[in-house]
Amino acid sequence: GKRLWTLLTSMFMHADILHLAGNMLYLYIFGDNVEDAFGKFKYIIFYLLCGFGASFIHISSIAISLPSIRELNLQIPAVGASGAISGVLGAYMILYPHARIKTLVISWFITIVTIPAYYYIGIWFIYQFIMGIYSLTGLFSNVAFWAHIGGFLTGVVIVKVWKIKPKRRRLVYYYIPVEYY
């Protein structure tokens, strides 16, 4: 009760410059088209609601995790915009599923592939879900996977409930690095 305001302020704090840069990269790539679909004011409300949804699911996941994991997670502050930005990804996948995303793949060779948004974001979501399950059972991580899942699902639900329709997408070519070993 005394620190409810941290649910808002945590969305604007980051652990380090790489944490901030990663979040801003995703917001830069996906956020403008989603903002166009919502309009500026609705987008701000949407973004904050996704952040709150992310926090709610994250807190709920801590409550149902194993006791030993729960104690560790309670010691780590929840910071970052990734829960809210995950909501932007959820909205983008619903609004622009066939948008093409150029992705830099780092493997034995460095190559660029162009894939549909539903494929890229779908793989991202599956990874978050698998890691979220592991985090409940003993895999310790300082990444709030359930916040990502909660933000994503909040974004999907809001697009559906508010009946947001896609606007004409601006043509963008960004490179999202993906590493494979």
Q: What are the strands of the beta sheet with 110-116, ordered from one edge? A: 110-116, 100-106, 176-179
Q: pLDDT tens across 133-175, in order?
A: 988 887 767 889 999 999 999 999 999 999 999 987 655 555 5
Beta strand spans in 7-66 (E): none
* Angle, CA 110 vertex, CA 104 and CA 122 arms, to 5°: 35
Model pTM score? 0.88
CATH assignment of 13-179, among 1.20.1540, 2.50.20, 1.10.150, 3.30.420: 1.20.1540
Cβ-contact 178, 104 below 8 angstroms = yes
pLDDT single digits (tens) 71-110: 766 667 788 899 999 999 999 999 999 999 999 988 899 9
Instruction: Find out whether 90 and 152 touch, Cβ atoms under 8 Å.
Output: yes
Listed by start position, the domains of the chain span 13-179
